[in-house]
Amino acid sequence: MIEEIDFAFLFCRVMAEYGIPFKAVKALPFKLFWLMSNNISRLRAEKDVRALMIANCSQAQDATVELRSSLITELGTIMKVDPIASAVRDVEGFNELKAMAAD
C-alpha cells in the first residue's frame, strides 16, 4: 500500500511540476518518467536560488549590479540587429500598404 501511495505522489508531482496532463504522464517511457521525477527538486532549487538572489538585491546596490550582469550573461545574445541594414526603405511594400489603406 505504501508503494502505491509513493508512486501516486510521484505521478502527481510530475504532472504538477511540468504541467503535463494525466494521459501524457501515463504514456511516458518509464526511464523518462524517472528522469523527470528525479530532476524536480533540482529545478525547484534553481528557481529558489534565483528568487533568493533577487530578494537579496533589495538589500545591496552592488548585489543588484552583479545579479543583473550575471543574468544578462546567462541570457546571451537573442538577436543582433544591424541598424544600417534595417534602414533600407521598402518602397514597393510601402506603396502596397498605402494602396490597401486607400481601399
Helix (H, G, I), strand (E, B) or coil at 9: helix
pLDDT (tens digit, 9 = 90+) per residue, 13-70? 999 999 999 999 999 999 999 999 999 999 999 889 888 888 888 787 888 888 888 8
How far is Cα 60 from Cα 76, in angstroms, rounded to an integer? Answer: 25
Alpha-carbon distances, residue 11 vs 3, 7, 19, 90 (angstroms): 12, 6, 12, 55
pLDDT of residue 91: 85
What pLDDT is attached to residue 19?
95
As given in the structure block, the three cell numbers for residue 4 are 502505491
Q: Residue ranges of the domains in the chain? A: 2-102
pLDDT at 102 (0 to 100): 78
Rounded Cα distance between 8 and 11, Å, is 5
